[in-house]
Structure 1
Amino acid sequence: MQILIIEDEPRAANQLLNKLKTENFDYQLLTVIDTVEDAVLWFKENKSPDLVFMDIQLADGLSFEIFQKIDIDAPIIFTTAFDQYAIQAFKVNSIDYLLKPIQQEELNHALNKFRKSNKQLAVDPAILKKLLGSMQTTKKREGILVKEGNGFAQIRIIDLLYFYSHESITFGVTLSKRYIIDETMDQLFDSLDTDQFYRINRGQIISKNSIQKIDSYFNHRVKLSIINPRDQDFIVSRQKTSDFKDWLNH
Structure 2
Amino acid sequence: MNIIIIEDELRTAKSLETIIKNLKPDARITGPYQSVEESVEALSNGAQPDLIFMDIQLADGLSFEIFKSVKITCPVVFCTAFDEYSLEAFKSNGVDYVLKPFSKDDIKEALRKVDDLKNFFQQTTSPNLEALLSILNPSSGKTSFLVFKNQKYTTVQTDNIAFFYIRNDSTSMMCFDGQEYALTQSLDTITASVSAKQFFRVNRQYLVNFKSIKEVEHYFLRKLYVKLVIETPGKLLINKEKSHSFLNWMEER
Q: With structure 2 as the length reference, what TM-score do the two structures score?
A: 0.47
- Relative contact order: is structure 1 or structure 2 higher (C-alpha 8 Å, sep ≥ 6)? 1
Larger radius of gyration: 2
Structure-1-length-normalised TM-score: 0.47
